[in-house]
Structure 1
Amino acid sequence: MVRALETTSEDAWLDELEPRQHRARLSDRLQGRLARPVHMGRRGKAFLETTPGKLIAMMVVLTMSLLAAGMSMSQSMSMRNQSLDTVLNATEPMSAAAHLLSTSLLRADTIAAGSFVQAGPLSEEDMRTYTAAIDQAASSASEIYKGAVEADSATSDRIEELVVNIQRDLPVYSALNARAQVNQRMGNPVGVAYMSQASGIMRTRMLDAAQEVNDLTRQDVADEMRRLSQPQWFTLSGLLAALAFLGLAQWWLWLTFRRRLNRGFLAATLAVVVAVTWAGVSNFQSWRSGSVDYERAAQPWEELTAARIDALETRTDETFALLRRETVSHSIRDFEDTYASVAGAAGTAQGYGMSQPLIDDTRTHLNAWSNEHAELVSALNTGSYDQAAALLGSRGASGGEASFRGLDAKLAELIASSRESTRLYIAESLDATRRVSAAVALLSLLAVVAIWWGIRRRLGEYL
């Protein structure tokens, strides 16, 4: 029994000894593997405490800071350049197409309703104008959809949805108007019902969608220009930090070697100063053209486009007031608002130095339309519907239609001129960012080459 216990105790002691020996071997193995890295780290630390080590460490830090600052600014400028190019070629044309979509739909609806004012089918001129308006609306909707896909903004999905709805309703609207024209030629009173149904689709669905598209696209352009015109403080601060590092490095070199300023470091400093100045001037020009000047130029464009839409809507209201034999008390208030809108837009255009003869013609047509609207109101209130129809008639060079078409044409010219101004400022902002990306990257590389060229003699003293 005693021998058995001794054997068990002796076996137990051997079992405990074996794991302890295993752990010791694992520790020794780890120490062996880490010995070389630790040794290299100590040698590296000792080398960095020497003057050559400090020189090389300083050069590595300077190289990384110069490359990081230069490449960051270059990439930032490149991305801004691409974004401004998208605004110029996609977002802004989409906004202009949205205005054309609204005005084309309104013009088509006005002509379609006006065809029932007088007996007989539409004249060839009115038929061409109506067809051109429908075609313009279809092409504008396609251009807006394409621009929304290319711009890929936060509102693109909503714009695409609205445009698809308009494209879906446009054939229905055209078909109802075609059926209305056929019934009018046959003398069937149901033609007015078809025209009213088509106009209901236009006013309750298509025009509301077009107006929302107009607002969204206009806001997209303004937001993008405001965002892309902000100074690039972060990337500029990186270049300034690299410039400060260069100054500190030269001061340390002077304290260490007591020699005159290093030519390579002076050349690198000059290159960084040029890069900072170029980028700073570019940022200022971009801010000036893309924010301040653009907002000034966009104001008359926005007021003129809104005034033109108001005028077209008011003209359609006049036509429906005659067709429905309604009182025009509500239309009078709308006309006064429209008159104020158009007059205010003309005043804003004049304040921004746009063509004075064009503004004078706009005011002349507006006053003529105002006088003829007063005659229309009087004729409708007295039941003189033939006189009202003559005032709204589209045939001949006289009458309310002539003055209104003249006003619409002048507003279209003012809008085109104003749009050219806004595109000019976008293009100037884009020009300010061109070539800056490549220039900053090149200057950063030149600065790196210059500092290594300038330090070669100091390093050669220790070889």
Structure 2
Amino acid sequence: MARTGQSVAARPPTADGGSARRYLAHLPAAVVRERFDPAELRSFARSSPARLIAMGLLLIGLCLAAGTVASDTVGARQEALDVLLADTEPDADSAHRLYTTLSIADAAASTAFISGGVEPESVRDRYTQAIGEAAAELVIQSGHVGGGITSDVRLRTGIATGLPVYTGLIETARTNNRIGNPVGAAYLSEASNQMQTTLLPMAEELQDQRSDAVDTAQRDHVRPPWTAIALLILALTVLVWAQVESAKRWRRTFNAGLLLASAAMAILLGWTVIAGSLSATAMIQGRDHGAVPASRLTESRILAQQARSAETLKLVRRDATGDYDRTFDSGIARLDELLGGYPADAAARGSVAEARAALARWRAAHQRMNDALAHGDFQGAALVATGQGAADSAAQVEALDRALGQGIAETRQTLRGRIARATGALTLLAPGATVLAVLATIYIGLGVWPRLREYR
């Protein structure tokens, strides 16, 4: 009989053939039990090779996780910038143009009505062009439903449905005006009321939604990628700790592999922080020098058209209540405030200066119109309101709108340029993060393997 404690593997085969076969059959199971004995496993877990393997796996996992998260985060941000540049910002600009052209159409319709009979061709063309551009913007926006937002579709549908009703009322008003029927003024007032209370509020809401989408994209981009940065710092910290432990335990001052892995993670961390900061700075500049001034100029342009509508409707309705004067004065006061407070370091400063000069001349012409009305000279007031002379309202309104339109184009160009710069700052960072993470894992393996070979 074998001694107690002797393993099965140590038992010698007997001369009997059957005993030999039974011995060989039990040999693999015995080896496995011996190899995976709990006591042996605990002993191995406390050994230096096991600690080396665990440390290497931990470092590899952290580096791969940090590189993957950094690459995915940067890729997502680049994609968001591409969407902002290709879809979100153009949609916001389209909504602005829709709102503006509707306001221009309403002001032009009222101006044409003052002339009586057949309106001037230039005024008629301005109205027709504005209506055509508004319809075109509705068609353009039909291909961008704002990510399926129900309110976006509702607003566009409401404007598209109400626009033919408005133009029908305008045509009825013109027909009556040409034949000298006083009811034409009532039709014009009804059309303007529909524009001011229904179409323009919907267009404004649509513009606000699209502008908010741009603002949200800008805010999201300037927020630091804390998760990616935290993982990179953690990976770098653990790499430094591993080198310190390696120096203490294995009496090695430097581990070339771990040093190279640390350098790769440090490069990735610095690249992420610097590129992210440059990209965020470009986006902040786009917001401060592009989006914010553009919003101010957009509001100014719409206020100018609303004030123009109030000015002309006062003549059409022979208003003596002062309601249209109050609307005009409040709109012009706000317009003057917006232009006067325009940022000195923003784009389109020259266009704003031209707009302020045109506004001053318009206010002087409006006062002349009111003075003529105060003396009962309606024809003289109408000539001031619709004349194309340098001292007349119509010419100055056109000059003001032209300057504001140019300013909006300049600020938009600034915004898009900064967005493109923000995208460019992140170029190659996503694939670079993957490459550096893979290099770090290779360096970790090269640093751990020589230590493991020492225990063979």
Match of 1:94 in 2: 91
Match of 1:49 in 2: 46
- Measured in 1, the distance between the counterparts of 2:49 and 2:441 equals 19
- Measured in 2, the distance between the counterparts of 1:38 and 1:158 equals 69
Question: Given the alignment, which residue of 95, 100, 104 partners 2:101?
Answer: 104
1:398 Cα deviation from its structure 2 partner: 5.5
Question: Where do residues 247-396 of structure 1 align in structure 2 (5 Å cutoff)?
Answer: 247-291=240-284, 294-327=287-320, 329-349=322-342, 351-393=344-386
1:141 Cα deviation from its structure 2 partner: 2.9
Deviations 1:214-262 (A, max 9, x none): 2222222222211221111122010000001111111122122212311
- Measured in 1, the distance between the counterparts of 2:151 and 2:243 equals 57
Distance 1:223 1:329, change over 3 A: same
1:447 Cα deviation from its structure 2 partner: 0.5
Match of 2:114 in 1: 117
1:296 Cα deviation from its structure 2 partner: 4.8
- Measured in 2, the distance between the counterparts of 1:37 and 1:341 equals 89
SS of the residue 1:149 aligns to: coil
Distance 1:258 1:231, change over 3 A: same
Distance 1:241 1:316, change over 3 A: same
1:304 Cα deviation from its structure 2 partner: 1.4
Contact map agreement 1:94 1:148 (CA 8 A) in 2: no
Distance 1:62 1:224, change over 3 A: same
Greater Cα offset, 309-318 or 91-100: 91-100
Q: Which segments of 5 or more consecutive residues in structure 2 lack a partner in the other structure?
A: 1-28
Contact map agreement 2:286 2:416 (CA 8 A) in 1: no
- Measured in 2, the distance between the counterparts of 1:345 and 1:38 equals 82
C-alpha root-mean-square deviation of aligned residues, in Å?
A: 2.5
Distance 1:337 1:200, change over 3 A: closer
Deviations 1:117-154 (A, max 9, x none): 1123233333332222112212223444544434x6xx
Deviations 1:248-284 (A, max 9, x none): 1111221222123111111111110000001111222
Match of 1:71 in 2: 68
Contact map agreement 1:98 1:140 (CA 8 A) in 2: yes
Contact map agreement 2:100 2:302 (CA 8 A) in 1: yes
Greater Cα offset, 68-77 or 89-98: 89-98
Contact map agreement 2:362 2:397 (CA 8 A) in 1: yes
Question: Given the alignment, which residue of 153, 160, 167 partners 2:153?
Answer: 160
Give yes or no for the alignment of 1:181 onto 2:174: yes
Distance 1:293 1:190, change over 3 A: closer
Question: Given the alignment, which residue of 441, 448, 453 partners 1:460?
Answer: 453
Contact map agreement 1:91 1:148 (CA 8 A) in 2: no
SS of the residue 2:118 aligns to: coil
How high is the TM-score relative to the length of structure 1?
A: 0.85
Give yes or no for the alignment of 1:408 onto 2:405: no
Match of 2:224 in 1: 231
Deviations 1:1-36 (A, max 9, x none): xxxxxxxxxxxxxxxxxxxxxxxxxxxxxxx9xx97
- Measured in 1, the distance between the counterparts of 2:213 and 2:47 equals 59
1:460 Cα deviation from its structure 2 partner: 2.2
1:312 Cα deviation from its structure 2 partner: 0.5
How high is the TM-score relative to the length of structure 2?
A: 0.86
SS of the residue 2:252 aligns to: coil
- Measured in 1, the distance between the counterparts of 2:51 and 2:227 equals 29
1:329 Cα deviation from its structure 2 partner: 3.0
- Measured in 2, the distance between the counterparts of 1:148 and 1:43 equals 66
Match of 2:8 in 1: none
- Between the aligned residues of both structures, percent identity stands at 31
1:184 Cα deviation from its structure 2 partner: 3.4
Match of 1:13 in 2: none
Match of 2:198 in 1: 205
Over 6 Å off, 4+ runs:
35-38
SS of the residue 1:115 aligns to: helix
1:382 Cα deviation from its structure 2 partner: 3.1
